[in-house]
Chain A
Amino acid sequence: MSERTIFHIDMNAFFASVEQMRNPALRGKPVIVCGNPQSRTVVAACSYEAKAYGITNGMAVHEAKQRCPQAVLVGGDPVTYRDIAHHLFAIYEEFTPEVEVFSIDEAFLDMTGTAGVEETARAIKARIRQRYATLTCSVGIGPNKLIAKLASDLQKPDGLVRVRAGAIAALFERLPVESLCGVGPRLQARLNEMGIITCADLGRAPETILLKQFGIIGLALQRMGQGFDESPVLRFHAEDEVKSMGHSYTLPRDTGDREAVGRVLLRLSEQVARRLRAEAYRGRTVHVVVRYQGFATFSRQRSLPDHLDDGLAIYRTARRLLDTFDPFDSPVRARSGLRPARLAKPREAGGAPLPTRAIRMVGVGVSTLMQYQRQLSFLEDEERAVLLNHWLDRINDRFGDFTATRAACLAPLIPKTHGFLGHQRGG
């Protein structure tokens, strides 16, 4: 097989750059894009001026402000970012139909067979600049996706780096193993403990040891350390089979008020149900995830005899699951890795203990999905529910989400529906 040519395009400080483009007064300043700046939140993205102060994505905003008190906080605007991302992907498709959307600000392009590879990369950058004058990107070029992504990281911002197959070995001798996409801090720590520091070390590591330590993925890690990656560029419209759908919400403040959390749960259940119906799915396993103050995270699930796409039905199961939660009294599966007995009871800053059930984030999901074609039901209640959902969906499609909804969803705990109401599409 002839060598492939893969591009990885990574928009530089995307969200922050969009905000600096929107507001000229922010250009050249340290900008932090976050959730609602009035509530507790983390850094979603920051400008290069802010990065110079050591601010990183995911950092708590209060810590970022300590590092750079003059940083400007801007509430994120997903609508704008999504729209610009769609236009960027359309630009990429002017150059090749083989475009894989890796994230909102990253894409892989299969440019195999293109003459003038580097000229094409410059043309893409120029096209982006033509449309969005102040947005820049780093382009990495390599014989596969792994190398292309690694190459784009080598020069930021506004970079263009090509790594040919013959140059990989020398490059890997000096690159730390965590440079490889997929090697996060925990895996890096384990590899470092084994004496694997560079990418080349990983490529040379004995198969038997990697298999023993990591199981079957040990072989994949070794291949990565040798610069191999046969994964294809998956086109934009090629999607994995949907295995779950979910929504989560971080509350504006920790609360022990289970009724208030229940109202959030209802709204999330309605959102999940609406998405299921929109994509003609029903599911029969309902998941609830709860994160408490202190970040201990727990989940429960329950499989039902029938598949559902009704928000109220999902909510009823989710609410029963929520009511079984208590990290201090019940044996539950703790994602944090801490056993309940070791969790310290949370306290307010002044030392007074908070309610043990103070909840920070809640999420609802549905899995074990099946495609669903609507059929008439002989059960009057069921048919009524189907018709109600049908007309609610028609109204909300026309006028916007939650234009028509259950009265219990109109709750003060839930702000206007924009911002980072995260949702997940499982695979």
Chain B
Amino acid sequence: MVVDIDEPVAVGVVFDRGGVRPVWLVWQGRKRVLREVTLRWQGHEGRATLAYFSVTDGTQLYELCLHAEHLTWRLTKVETP
């Protein structure tokens, strides 16, 4: 089930092979180690580029959004099995 969240979160990333790869996120007071980036895509908000990442910790699927102008991360959605 997909749940809309849209909250600011802290995300740890690795700059790897010319790209950014989220490796952990902190949400609801818990650090979640991310196993896989399943999909990346871009959108726009006005002139700002939004970089989206679909990531999983093996249990849940998270959709993260990086606002390229503000350099802030938001957790936009969570999907539980």
Q: Which of B7-15, B24-32, B34-42 is the interface stretch?
A: B34-42
Q: How many residues of A contact B (CB 8 A)?
A: 16
Which chain A positions have C-beta within 8 A of B38? 21-24
A397 touches B47 (CB 8 A): yes
Known: A80-B41, A83-B41. A23 touches B54 (CB 8 A): yes
Known: A23-B38, A25-B61, A25-B81. A79 touches B54 (CB 8 A): no
Which chain A positions have C-beta within 8 A of B79? 23, 25
How far does the Cβ of A24 sit from chain B's closest Cβ, in whole Å? 6
Chain B residue with minimal CB distance to A27?
Answer: B38
Report, as a range, how many residues of chain B touch the other chain: 10 to 19
B61 touches A79 (CB 8 A): no
How far does the Cβ of A20 sit from chain B's closest Cβ, in whole Å? 9
Q: Is the interface of B mostly helix, strand, loop or mixed?
A: strand
Known: A23-B61, A24-B56. A400 touches B46 (CB 8 A): yes
Q: Which of B41, B46, B54, B56 contacts A84 (CB 8 A)?
A: B41
Contact code string B43-77 (vs A, CB < 8 Å = 1, else 0): 11111000010101000010000000000000000
Known: A22-B54, A23-B54, A25-B81. A79 touches B41 (CB 8 A): yes
Chain A residue with minimal CB distance to B44?
Answer: A400
A400 touches B45 (CB 8 A): yes
How far does the Cβ of A29 sit from chain B's closest Cβ, in whole Å? 12
Q: Which of A25, A80, A399, A403 contacts B52 (CB 8 A)?
A: A80
Which chain B positions have C-beta within 8 A of A24? 36, 38, 56, 61
A398 within 8 A of B: yes
A-B contact pairs, 13 of them (CB 8 A): A18-B39, A21-B39, A22-B39, A24-B38, A24-B61, A25-B79, A79-B41, A79-B43, A80-B52, A398-B47, A399-B46, A400-B44, A400-B46
Seen from chain B, the residues whose Cβ lies within 8 Å of a Cβ on chain A are 36, 38-39, 41-47, 52, 54, 56, 61, 79, 81
